[in-house]
Structure 1
Amino acid sequence: MSTNITPQDLEKVVPQAEDFLPLLGTDYVELYVGNAKQAAYYYQTAWGFQPIAYAGLETGRKDSVSYVLEQDKIRLVLTSPLQPDGDINKHINSHGDGVKVVALWVDDATKSYKETIKRGAKSYMEPTVEEDQHGKVVFSGIHTYGETVHVFVERKNYHGAFLPGYMAWNKPYETKPTGLKYIDHMVGNVGWNEMNKWCEFYAKVMGFAQLVSFDDKDISTEYTALMSKVMSNGNGRIKFPINEPAEGRKKSQIEEYIDFYNGAGVQHIAVATDNIIETVSELQNRGVEFLTVPSTYYDTVLDRVGEIDEDLEPLRDLGILIDRDDEGYLLQIFTKPVLDRPTMFFEIIQRKGAQSFGKGNFKALFEAIEREQEQRGTL
């Protein structure tokens, strides 16, 4: 991942974003998990991530262990505790495996901290410098919804494998990447009537702007509903949809998430590919399970979205959904939850010009989720 980009290199594509906090991209996503070694094996084997760095007893860290994996511009950190007490254990006891840190790559972590704190952010980590023989990194951090935090990472003066305190992790074996490119967006689920509060947080504290809004008329089925707003920074590299439950006849997927996660948190990570048919075929071959929609979805989908470059048959075979907006179309599919609790999942997305989020697929998607909820007995 190149560290030579500056905020001036990135075009502003969301003009209404105040953008006093220039973000260069997502630096990494850290999950607290019960068994980091086995989770790392899963993301390597099933998803095609490559091992790049490690921290643990061998590097002098006594209380926890972390494995770092990378695929193109996506970096995952999987962290487990080595002691019976402490914050990581509490997080896992409360939430199960889940995202703790959404780290944001910045040019100036001290400025990022000061700008957000003076606008009302709650401090997670004051600016801190860590260094080793490969250079130095400046960190700072703030709290967001639930127990999720944003850590600002300034790494322009660092040239090691990942961060100070980590050693290069020599590949125990090779796995072929699956074509994943970067994080397109990350969705947060929050409690009843909390969506606007957190959208205002991203607008006021971080200078984001609202791209789009969906209400319960847009996202509802016979049984369940939810509300969603999408917040973006100025260059569009960071997009955070925020979901809250809405009144319905039965328990929505957002309520189910909040019940099992025990609060607000990251619901799904949308990862981009340039060839969704190849990527999803490979992921399915490796055992990743996806939600399916009835085959009748494909009988009329082209009437709704118009002509597309892809042949419809492989999309039908794989269960990939299609939607169109004023700028083009997109292809998307959603995994089943990748954890024991019905909480976090992944979306695979290929954009062919479209900048939207698949509004035309919401009903089919949510009915698919409801079928899974019914099997779990949580609908």
Structure 2
Amino acid sequence: MRTSIATVCLSGTLEAKLHASAAAGFDGVEIFEPDLIASPRSPEQIRELADSLGLTLDLYQPFRDLEGVGPDQFADNLRRARHKFELMGRLGIETMLVCSNVATATVDDDELAAEQLRQLGELAAEHGTRIAYEALAWGRYVNTYEHAWRLVRRAAHPNVGTCLDSFHILSRGGDPRGIEDIPAEKIFFVQLADAPQLSMDVLSWSRHHRVFPGQGSWDLPSFLAHLMRAGYTGPVSLEVFNDTFRQTDVGRTAVDAMRSLRWLQEHAAARLGNTEAPVPLLRLPAVEDPTGIDFVEIRGRAGVERIEDMLAALGFTYAGTHRSKSVRLWELGQARIVVNDADTQDGRPVVAAIGFVVDDPQRSAARAGELGAPSVPRRSEADEQVLQAVRAPDTTEIFFCSRTNAWTSEFSVKPGDERATRAARPEDGADSHVDHVNLDQPWQRQDEGLLFLSAVLSLDPQPSLDVASPLGLVRSQVMRSADGAVRLALNVAPPMARQSVGSHPGIGQVQHVAISCPDLIGLARRARDRGLEFLPVPANYYDDLAARFDLPAQTLATLRELNLLYDRDDRGEFYHLYTPTVGEVFLEIVQRTDGYDGYGAPNAPVRLAAQLATLLD
């Protein structure tokens, strides 16, 4: 499949956009007219640059407000078009996008509109170009792809075809199955964009909230499958208007865009089943979903001793130091925390890496590489496991681990290591595992992170949630495997919540690791006896809890005594507690009963307020 991207998707100059598109692996680009107008290079120089980069210039856009106008206005429209066709000749572009009229149309007459499209087609033919007519979702008289196709068919000119844009079709709730009824030779161009499902006017939705395929709510794999069944063989291009993309690094955004098209091709091929596509669709190395979290690494130069003190108090067993690295392993049942003394950007502890259990680490790494994930070099001695790892958009290192856990044999307790004296009770570790990990996301990277986790690890996005903190709303979205064995929450904190308080990060600029255990009350009591103080919960919370749930008085007293939080859904109950924050990390211990599947979201505002109070104390 030939891939293309509109320059409007990217930040920077036109020249920078061309370089980034080529580096990301695109075959071609659409030239968005304002980018050309603002460029100091001549059309010939832009054409030469694209040629040198191996890019085709696939479309010039947009030409607006052509049809449905009176004779004088239409004559002026043809004058404008003539200039654009001449310019396209200098650029070497053969197709121009013509949008349905939204501003100057005064006549709702299909016969007139088709005739005006035919005349424009005649002019295009004189210049060796053609026009792709697109129905804008907010077009005055023409706002559906079916209507646009009827006008193209009625114009009956070889240089007049249609452009199909997923946003304009799906935002109006259109049925894309009708695409299969359009002759492939009359589909001159295809533009794709995904979007979150929002309730707002369609123009604002379009101008500010489009995202790349796989980052929104729409079924774009089925959309592409309909195009393939129609026999379309031309470029499939991304046209995404997004406020974030226009102000973030152009190279990273282009890689994210290409990742979305690779993900899309794989899923569209699955939708096609045994139907053969008219063009080859990329098929990535097939992998099974990860079956669990093997380990979480906490890294930092200052403060990791406190992390280890908390782990010991919680009942983790010290499994030793790595034979060749300044790294230590702590275990509680199947939950493994690796503590690394390596430096971080500001020295504070962070969640630096997560290891996922997969069937074939080499295949998973190969898939990630084809999706543009940069590999993470890892120094290994001759007798050590070679672990495959890539870097996620938020810089977290993603390791692909086998089920054997052979890497743990590289850790041993050295003589005289005082950590070995902190023996845990056997009951502490029974059936414990990493329940989920919360990762702080830069505001401009959450959509990229969601697509990355979906494409690389086959995790499914859950509905997003806004959580109230004292300093604004935290936007949270969980990615999880189908069976819930792997759960990652990506959180974007508001600007005020990300500001540091003294030497501490803001309440939103933190990450945490949640450990599941079968007896939270027992574990909490033993941890308290070992000297661990939990995040203090205000008394008002327990007064409200008594009103929300009909809990036995003794249960409520125990929750209050141990600073435990509680939630319940129609399937089960959820108990959890939090440790103090060290650097940018804190721990959560959870207990799920009878199929509870949430994360205690009603308690999150209380936790965030308590963390802020602790920072300000």
Query: Given the two structures, how large is their TM-score scaled by the length of structure 1?
Result: 0.74
More helix by share: 2
Alpha-carbon displacement from aligned partner over 1:2-50 (angstroms, at most 9, x marks no partner)? xxxxxxxxxxxxxx9x994431322222222337995686256423221
The structure in which a higher percent of residues are strand is 1
Which of 592, 600, 606 is residue 358 of structure 1 equivalent to? 600
Q: Is the 8 A contact 1:137 1:157 kept in 2?
A: no
| 2:383 equivalent to 1:116 | no
Where structure 1 has 5 or more consecutive residues not aligned to the other structure, the ranges are 1-15, 81-87
Q: Which runs of 5+ in 2 are unaligned?
A: 1-218, 220-266, 268-285
Give the alignment partner of residue 26 of structure 1, picking from 278, 293, 296: 293
Q: Aligned-pair distance for 1:373?
A: 3.3
CA pair 325-140 structure 1, distance change in 2 beyond 3 A = same
Distance 2:462 2:470 in 1: 27
TM-superposed CA distance for 1:358, in Å, is 1.0
SS of the aligned residue for 1:296 comes to: helix
SS in 1 for 2:462: strand
Q: Does 1:220 align with 2:468?
A: yes
Q: Report the secondary structure of 2:468's partner residue.
A: coil
Shift of 1:103: 1.4
Tell me if the contact between 2:387 and 2:401 (Cα under 8 Å) persists in the aligned partners.
Answer: yes
Distance of aligned partners of 1:301 and 1:130 in 2 relative to their CA distance in 1, 3 Å threshold: same
Counterpart residue identity of residue 238, structure 1: V
Alpha carbons 1:73, 1:182 under 8 Å: kept: yes
Aligned length: 325
Matched, 1:235 2:487: no
- Matched AA of 1:33: G
Indicate the SS of the match to 2:512.
strand
Query: Are 2:571 and 1:327 aligned?
Result: yes
Q: Offset of 1:356 from its aligned partner?
A: 0.5
The structure whose Rg is larger is: 2
Q: Which amino acid aligns with 1:173?
A: T
Shift of 1:209: 0.6
Q: CA deviation at 1:370?
A: 2.5
TM-superposed CA distance for 1:172, in Å, is 3.6
Partner Cα distance (1:336, 1:182) in 2:
20
- Look up the match of 2:529: 285
Contact 2:298–2:350 (CA<8 Å) still a contact in 1? yes
C-alpha displacement of 1:278: 1.4
The answer to whether the aligner puts 1:99 opposite 2:351 as a matched pair is yes
Q: Deviations over 1:75-116 (max 9, x none)?
A: 122223xxxxxxx33x2x524222222112222110110122
What's 1:197 paired with? 448
CA RMSD of aligned residues (A): 3.3
1:209 aligns with 2:453: no
Counterpart CA distance in 1 for 2:538 and 2:422 is 37
Is contact 1:188-1:265 (8 Å) kept? Answer: no
Shift of 1:246: 3.1
- Would you say the 8 A contact 2:393–2:448 is kept in 1? no
TM-superposed CA distance for 1:284, in Å, is 2.1
Cα distance in 1 for residues equivalent to 2:354 and 2:449: 15
Would you say the 8 A contact 2:314–2:523 is kept in 1?
no
Q: Contact (CA 8 Å) 1:53, 1:67: kept in 2 or not? A: yes
Q: Is the counterpart of residue 318 in structure 1 residue 536 in structure 2?
A: no
Determine what percentage of the aligned residue pairs are the same residue. 22
- Does the aligned pair in 1 maintain the 2:513–2:588 contact within 8 Å? yes
C-alpha separation between the residues in 1 aligned to 2:499 and 2:465? 17
Quote the residue 2:321 is aligned against. Answer: 54
One-letter amino acid of the counterpart of residue 448, structure 2: K
**Is 2:398 aligned against 1:150?**
yes
- Separation in 1 of the partners of 2:409 and 2:510? 24
* 3-state SS of paired residue (1:311): helix
Code of the aligned partner of 1:210? P
